[in-house]
Structure 1
Amino acid sequence: MNKTQRGRQSGFTLIELVIVVVLIGILSAVAIPKYIEFKTDAATAASKGVAGALASASAINYAANRANSATALVTTCAGVSALLTHTPPSNFGITGTAPACQVTNTDGNSTPPVDWSMSN
């Protein structure tokens, strides 16, 4: 190659650009659904964590009531959240009739509700 030809060559060839665009398309087709799946899994795990904390608080309240009658027994699903040191975030709803309670994550991710049993 002489000096004048080398000076005119710059940038990428069309085939190189097409390959890069195809690779980006393939990666995004694989990565975006995985990201959405991870987001839903994280929201479900958060709901399960809140449900576990509520079930534990209910069991502790029940045990304290049985051991010492001066401890008030919480008998409603929604009332158990007041027993926690930190209340659940505002996007969690607690519903149900004791002992069958449910935690619902209202974050807009269509997260399925999580069931938990209240000790009574």
Structure 2
Amino acid sequence: MKRQGGFTLIELVVVIVILGILAVTAAPKFMNLQNDARKASLEGLKGSIQGAAGIVYGKAAIKGIESTAADTDVKVGDITTNYGYPTANTAGIVNAVSGLETDSQDWVGATTTDKADYVVTFKSLVKAAAPTAADITATKCYVEYKQATSVSAAATTKVVADGNSCK
């Protein structure tokens, strides 16, 4: 009689155990996809804000108003500026970035109490109905736009995404 080839029960169990160990070690890497996707979205928003601020500054330079402070109500189109860059509010950076206010299902933003920063995050991360800048920064997953403070201090944009805070 010919002996049939195949796997024994022990060999199958060992293979299943090895696959289980691999799955347990690899699963957390794949579970972090939402966090990575949100961080990438924030980086994209940062780029949009920087691009819009650069365009506004270029238009302000053409008009010769890039060295004028916001207290004189300087505008480039419908965008208020401070030293040529959009101000950190709805009349400034929100008007400059196309879609920031119209995509209200995705983004929520607010000006900080000192009126020099504008912060934006995902609407789903903030629990308050009318979130303040403090509510947004408490998520530790946001984009922060700082308006220009002088002729030599340009506007800056940064992403704050600490650890797994963007889940």
* TM-score (norm. length: structure 1): 0.66
Going from structure 1 to structure 2, the CA distance change for 1:115 and 1:94 (only over 3 Å counts) comes to same
Structure 1 moving runs of 4+ over 4 Å:
none
| Secondary structure of 1:104's aligned partner | strand
Unaligned 5+ segments in structure 2 are 66-74, 81-86, 126-138, 150-167
Among residues 69, 76, 93, which one is paired with 1:71 in the alignment? 76
Q: Is the 1:78–1:94 Cα contact (8 Å) retained in structure 2?
A: no
Partner of 1:100: 117
Q: How far is the alpha carbon of 1:34 from its aligned partner?
A: 0.8
| Secondary structure of 2:37's aligned partner | helix
Structure with more contact order per residue of length (Cα contacts < 8 Å, sep ≥ 6): 1
Q: In the alignment, does 2:27 pair up with 1:32?
A: yes
Q: Quick check: which one's strand share is greater?
A: 2
Q: In 1, Cα distance between the equivalents of 2:123 and 2:25?
A: 27
Q: Quick check: which one's helix share is greater?
A: 1
Going from structure 1 to structure 2, the CA distance change for 1:61 and 1:41 (only over 3 Å counts) comes to same
Letter matched to residue 29 of structure 2: K
Q: In 1, Cα distance between the equivalents of 2:16 and 2:25?
A: 14
- Correspondence 1:1-120 to 2 at 5 A: 2-3=1-2, 5-6=3-4, 12-68=7-63, 71-72=76-77, 73-74=79-80, 75-79=87-91, 80-85=93-98, 87-88=99-100, 89=103, 90-97=105-112, 98-106=115-123, 112-119=141-148
Going from structure 1 to structure 2, the CA distance change for 1:76 and 1:54 (only over 3 Å counts) comes to same
- Considering only aligned residues, what root-mean-square deviation do their CA atoms show, in Å? 3.1
Identity of aligned residues (%): 26
Aligned residues: 113
